[in-house]
Every structure is written in C-alpha cells, then in structure tokens.
Structure 1
C-alpha cells in the first residue's frame, strides 16, 4: 500500500489521532512551558510551541481536504470503521458535510488562538500545549463520531481538558468559578449517561444511523419513555450549548478564563449545538414515528429566550470579557432558533451564521485582552481610562466585529441573519423569530457601541498619555486573522451558502446516511427484520 493510499484510507481518523499523538509527544519531551528557569526551559518552551502550532496547521489542512472532498462527493460520506468491525457493532467515524464544516471551523479558531497563546500566555502554567491538543482531540472526535456513546466519551475528553485550561494561569477567581463549572458538567454528564442508557434499553443500539431506523419502530408506552430520554438529552446538550435556562454558568466561566482559552471555548458551545442537530434534528426528526419532533415545542421558544437574555446580559455587563461572553449566549440562541424551525433552509442559515459568530466571538475575546492591556489599572472594566496605544487598529477591529455581530450589511452576520429571517417566513412563529432576531441585533449594536465609546472616546488624559505600548505583532496578527476570516465569509457567501444548503439537505437524507454507515446489506437487514422491544433491549 502506497503512502498516498494509506493516508486516504485513514483520513477520517487523522483529525482525532493527530492532536492525540501531538499531546503525548509534548508530554514525553516535557512541555514545560511554565518552567522559565534557565536556557533548558526556554528551549523546551520554544519546541513545544513549534510542535503544537505545526500540528494544528496540519490539522487545518486535513480539515480543508475533508471539507473539499465532502462537498465534491455529491452526497457521499466518508465512513471509517475502527478495527474494520461492521456498524453498528463496532466503533464508526463518519465525515459528512456538517462534520467536515465543524472540523474546519475548529481548526480555523484553534490556529490563531494557539499563535496568540504562544505570545506569552502558555508560560503561565505547565503543559498548556499538551492540554490544548487534548481539547482539540475531544472536539474533533465529537464531530466525527458515528454513535452516541462515543459522543459521550469525546465530550468527557474535551471537558476534562477544558477544566485544566480554564484554570490555566491560576488565580482565586478562576478556582472559584472553576469549581462551579466542574460540578455542573459532572451533573450534566450523569444525565447524559442516563439518557443514553434509556435509548439503548429501548432500541438496542447507539449508532446514529441505526437509531434513525429503529426509533420510528418504538411505539406505545415505550415511545413515551423514549421521548423522555430525548428530553433528558436536550437538557444535556442545552447545557453544553448554553441554552436558557441552563446558560447562566457560561458568562462567568468564559470571562474568568484567559483570553486564548475563552476564544477556544467559543467553539465548545457549538458541540452542544451539533449534538442537538444530530440527535433531535435527525434521529428524532420528521421520520421518527411516534417520537417525531419531540423537542420542537420547547427548542424554538427556549432559543428565542436565550437570545433575549444574552443581549440583556451584554447590556448590563461591566467588563468587556463578560460582555463578549453574554454575546456568546445570544449568538447560540439565534443559531438554535434557526434549528428549532426544523426546515432545511433554516438549518442551512444556522450553519452559516454559526460559523461566522464563532469566528467573531473568538476574535472579540482576544481583542478584549489587547484593549485591556493598554488601559492601565482600569483594564477590562468598562469605564473611562487612558487612551489605548493602538486606537486606530483596535477600534477598527471592534467596529468590524460589532457590525457583524449585530448583523449590519454587508458583513456575514447580516447575511446569516437574513437567511434565518427568510427561512422563518413560512413558519407559524415567524413574527416571534423576526421580532427577536431584529431586536437582539439592535441591542447588540447598542451594547457594543456603548463599549466602544467608553474604550476609545471617553478617555482620560490627565495621567500623561497611553498606559502601555502597543501589542506585539504575534498577538495582533492572531486577532486580525479571526476577524478577517469572518469578514471573508461575505466575499465567499455564495459558495458557502451552497455548501450549507447541501449540508442541510444531506442531514435530512437519513436513508443515504444509513446506507453509507451500515452498508446496503446492513440497511436491508435493519429495515426488514422483525424485532420486539423488551426490557433487555431489541430482540
């Protein structure tokens, strides 16, 4: 077997293996980024940075390759059976258009964030780069896994890594918030296991393709229990995605984290969104029999409430990181509102808007620290201070990010929100969706305009000029890259919309997904063989 053939055969698992192997390598060589003593520690830190950045850059290329292949495949899915065990009995990884999009989005956030962290943040604690790679392993694994149990496994991998990253740099406030964050996630993980157990007891499988075929056959009293499991999973995924009323943990957690960690966490909420699409949009979607659209009555109103509470929190924020954290909640609400419409056009709009909002929010977290570092003792607090050293650059970045977040043309935030509003027109709740999306956009602009006026216009000159020198080029380039990627989505809006349209259509083609994962013979067996539901599972 040639190297090219080997690479192509195992391409689907490489986004998971690459960060895992990189993390182990960093641990073996001693990723002592927190050890600043002596020349030896300095060399280790430099090598850790080089290896980590090279690995993430390679991961970006792999994700781009998978996305190009997914789009050109005319509905084809890349299926990787670990150990060559046939689905649904073995572990299977599946890369479709949605998975490929999420892999690329993760890499596009991770690379600038890692470059930013290598400007000094990684030296605030030990093993930053190794933990960062484990976080990427969990994220990528969650996006490519083909079964619910391994989704739980990768959830735990990324959460354990996030616990360490959240405390990176230490500090009393981070420890206090970190305890709440860990305890709440442990409770959510316990609920996840309960929901998974009920699903397995009633269907005998956790493979997404197999579940989509078996859930419609569960009827009567068993269907009621199955719907209860779906609602339990909505609680779990809603907590991860920051769906109200389960989102109150997020602003304090993200605001307390270091800037690069909070920026990386911008993609973490999207794992919850992704899980809602896979489980509630597809498995419990239109063809789920008695359990069809189980969460539809709840998802849309909760999503709209999330947007409203998020923007109100942003208006009340007294620090720039907390304002951005609340905007994260508001953006998640907008995405989930589009998903709650349960239409292909709305899902396409949700994917486009989600990609843009993730990039913008990540860029805003980095920008918040750049601004705070140049404001002296006032720092991140939204109150008058000395003028920043780079007002033109930082002000322009904030203006672009604010305009896109609020949904002003011609930036991609406007395009995404317009797509959502158009998709909502045939829906019975169209008036509510339009009212919330437009109102939230207006108050988002008000909140960011208020912050910008305080940061760049309402300044004090009595203490003799700027509080600090300009940020280093490494930090600026990383921040500019994220904002620029968001702006570039306007230039490539048409091909990106074609991609998200195709991704949404592919999600709704459950039979094609099942045939690709289970194979024609497995699909025929599942659709024709009789079975009954027993307390012990499917027979």
Structure 2
C-alpha cells in the first residue's frame, strides 16, 4: 500500500490551511507557496499515473481501517488520469493568476488549494459518504472563489449557485441515506454486491436511491434541465476561477461514470445499464442547448460558458453508450475539453483587458494591442473546440461517432455534426467581431502580460499535443475503459481477495 495515493488530497489541504495563516500583504510568499504546491501536485499525479499504468487497482485504507468501515481511497487508471488532468490545469491556472488576478480578493491561493483538495478527494474516494464530504469541500471553496473580485453580477450568480448546490447536497444525503438504510454500507464495491443480490422491494429502493444521486450528479455536471446555474456563474467569474471550474463539471460526470459502471455495472444483473437510455437523450439535448446558447451569446465569456455545456453533453453521450470504444473516446475528449476550454477562458480575459470598456461584448470596438498573437491563439482554440481537423477535438468527436451503434448512431451523428456546425458559426462570428471589425484607436490602458499569455498558450496548445501523442493517449484511455468495465476487479480488490 503506497502512501503516495493520499498525497493529492492531503497536500493541497495542508497548503490551504498554511496559506490561510499568511497575511494578504505577503502576496509574494503566498504565490511562491501556492505555485510550488501546484508543481509538487503535478509531480505526484504523474507518479500515480505511472503506478496506475501497471494495470492494477490500488486501495489505500486511511488509519488502516478497511472497508466498509474505514475511509478508502482507490487508485485506478481513471482516477490517476483525472488527477493528472487536474494537476496540469491547476499549475497553469495558478501561474496565470500570478499576473494580478489573485489580488482581486482575499485568500485566493488558500481557496484555490482547498478546491483542489475537494476535487482530488472526489476522484480518489471509494465510498459515497466521503464523496459527499469531498463535494462539500470543493463546493465551499467554489462559493468563495466565485465571489472573488466582488461585483453585483458575481454576487447574483453566486447566490443562485449556492442555493442550488445546497439543495443538491440535501438530496445527496437523502440518496446516500436510502442506500445505507437498505444495504447497510456506502462503500461502492459493497453496494455493487448488494445491488446484484437485491430482489423485490429492495431492488426498487436501491434504484430510487440511484435516481436521486443521478439527479445530484446531474446538477454538478450541469446537464439539461439542471444546467441553468452554469452559464451565469462561469461567465461572471474571474478568469482563473472560470478556468479552474472547467474541471468542476467533470467531477459530476465522473460520479455518474462510477455509478453506472460499478454500483450499477455489468455484475449487477437486472440492474445493469441503469438509467443509460435516459442519459443518452439528455446528452443530445444538452449538446444542442449548449451550441444554440453559444450562438446566441452576447459576450465572449457567455459563449465559452455555453461551450462547457456542449462538452458536458458530448461526454455524457459517450458515458451513456457504455461500450469500451465510447468510454475511450469520452476520456480522450475529456482531456481536450478540460484544458481547451480553460485556456479559452484565460484568453478571453486577455482579450477583454485590451478592449477597454467593451471587454468581451460582441460589438465593434478599438483594435487590440496584440491582435496577431491573440488572433492566432483564438484560431487554434476555436478550431479545436469546434471539432475540426487537425486538432484533438476532431479526434475525440470522430472516435465517439465511430463508437456509436444501432439506433443511437443516427441520432448521435446528426446531433454532434449539427452542434459542431452551430459552434463553428458562433466562434467565427466572435472572431470576426473581435479581430476584424475595428473603430477608433488602441486603448491607451491596454497591457500585455507574457506570463498570462504563456498559460493560455500552454492550455490551448494541449490540443496540438494531444494529436501528436494521440496514440499513447488513446491507448491509456482504452486501458482505462477496459478496467472500468471489469467491475469484478474492483470487487476483488476492495474485498482483499
């Protein structure tokens, strides 16, 4: 049992506590500690990725108390992949914040680390109760981060966000309590065993608990009709916060994936495939809603917020198909969408800072201070996001389309291609207004920050790297999908067999 497994959760938790004691006046010290912690977290995540690549499932029992009584952390290929994705995102977002966004409010770096602790804990935990605890950690940090920089719009969106997530947390406790009342455990592997053996009323109660939790996870993932909090929240947040939030919807999708492949996986007999048909329909509707919202958006930040919904729908479609090929495509697309959208949020902030009072509004204004750099990077990000070759968005969507079978194939092809066309039109309109239509002179207060631009380049440029290294990336994603679908491996490992 390697103690390294617990580090992605404990490290940011301790660093966040430490940064809470560092006064805001000592911003340089805060920055150095936070950046060093983010770099260390990336190193640890890559080491865990290497461990997971060996193919085994590793279980860490906190305090040496084993399941179902103890707190169990589980490292497999999927959790290692998401830890590495989060760590890479966090490093560049943290680096971007050093340009001055971290000084727009108090305790940014402490809250940033607490958010990472909650996200990493959610990806590692092996039971529903501690998934709830990690959700609350990341949500409490996100409440404060959403208000970072203050402003009336941020306050309004934060109020909606807090109220909805408090309702979601209450429903989470209801669903978890129902699971515990019927099965006597909240360990996911133990629940899978109980679901497989349940008969009659017990099975119906477990499925009811499953629907409650799918509702909660759907709220976190922001799929239709539980999406209404996301566009306003993401559009009003500061750039580093919005970029970090690119991984937030993936936490909800990850929880749905665990529920459908483990708790209600293939070993559960009649309960297998629970809710997948409904999720497929929701995925297609979410995809189209996001595309139409992006096309109708009046600001660059709102458009990007709706593009997050497009990625949620695309990922949910792959999860709901449930095949190895579909899950492989979804995991690859997850990498592309998380880093790519985060990079575009950072770039949008850089563009807005050079447009004076207009900021990200789609209206003809003064030319940018550095139009060539911004335009070239926006072009790469737009092509990748729309799913055009030769970038990673095309590889991910093509793999997903090839994975579709039966009646789902036609619906998926039509929806993905139509949504991609609408997204392309939205991005083309945005590029035309921002980079080609100008009136007046360059804003005299416009500034260009090289470190901030480098962060945006690193994240958007991931679309190029994911194509260059598409073969090993897809191979790892395929191995992760195979492992997910072999749920008996999880049952044996957590039982100590």
**Is TM-score (shorter-chain normalized) higher than 0.5?**
yes
Answer yes or no: is 1:63 the counterpart of 2:45.
yes
* 2: CA distance, partners of 1:229 / 1:471: 52
* 1:316-363 Cα deviation digits (max 9, x unpaired): 000000000000001110000111101111011100001100111101
3-state DSSP class of the match of 2:266? coil
TM-score under structure 2 normalisation?
A: 0.98
* 1:399-434 Cα deviation digits (max 9, x unpaired): 11111111111100000001100100x232110001
- Aligned match for 1:176, one of 125, 131, 156: 156
Residue 381 of structure 1 corresponds to 361
3-state DSSP class of the match of 1:313? helix
- Aligned match for 2:17, one of 14, 19, 24: 24
Answer yes or no: is 1:501 the counterpart of 2:478.
yes
Structure 2 matches for 1:283-362, cutoff 5 A?
283-362=263-342
Residue 471 of structure 1 corresponds to 448
TM-score under structure 1 normalisation?
A: 0.91
The answer to whether the 8 Å contact 2:356/2:446 transfers is: no
- Aligned match for 1:517, one of 487, 494, 497: 494
Describe the shift of the 1:90–1:465 C-alpha distance in structure 2 as closer, same or farther (beyond 3 A). Answer: closer
Answer yes or no: is 1:158 the counterpart of 2:158.
no
Q: Relative to structure 2, which stretch is displaced further, 118-127 or 323-332? A: 118-127
Count residues with an aligned counterpart.
497
**Structure with larger Rg:** 1
Question: Aligned-pair RMSD on alpha carbons?
Answer: 1.1
* 1: CA distance, partners of 2:31 / 2:157: 28
* 1:160-182 Cα deviation digits (max 9, x unpaired): 00000000111111111111110
Q: Relative to structure 2, which stretch is displaced further, 338-347 or 508-517? A: 508-517
Runs of 4+ in 1 over 3 A off after TM superposition: 465-470
Structure 2 matches for 1:435-450, cutoff 5 A?
435-450=414-429
Residue 416 of structure 1 corresponds to 396
Q: CA deviation at 1:505?
A: 0.5
3-state DSSP class of the match of 1:88? coil
The answer to whether the 8 Å contact 2:95/2:455 transfers is: yes
Structure 2 matches for 1:37-436, cutoff 5 A?
41=25, 44-71=26-53, 73=54, 75-424=55-404, 426-436=405-415
* 1:241-264 Cα deviation digits (max 9, x unpaired): 011010011000000110110000
The answer to whether the 8 Å contact 2:15/2:110 transfers is: yes
3-state DSSP class of the match of 1:287? helix
The answer to whether the 8 Å contact 1:116/1:260 transfers is: yes
Q: CA deviation at 1:287?
A: 2.4
The answer to whether the 8 Å contact 2:171/2:216 transfers is: yes
* 2: CA distance, partners of 1:464 / 1:351: 45
* 1:20-70 Cα deviation digits (max 9, x unpaired): 11111112233x1xxxxxxxx2xx100100000000000001001111111
In structure 1, stretches of 5+ residues that fail to align are 1-7, 33-40, 521-539
Q: CA deviation at 1:120?
A: 0.5
3-state DSSP class of the match of 1:312? helix
3-state DSSP class of the match of 1:79? strand
The answer to whether the 8 Å contact 1:389/1:468 transfers is: no
Q: CA deviation at 1:77?
A: 1.5
In structure 2, stretches of 5+ residues that fail to align are none
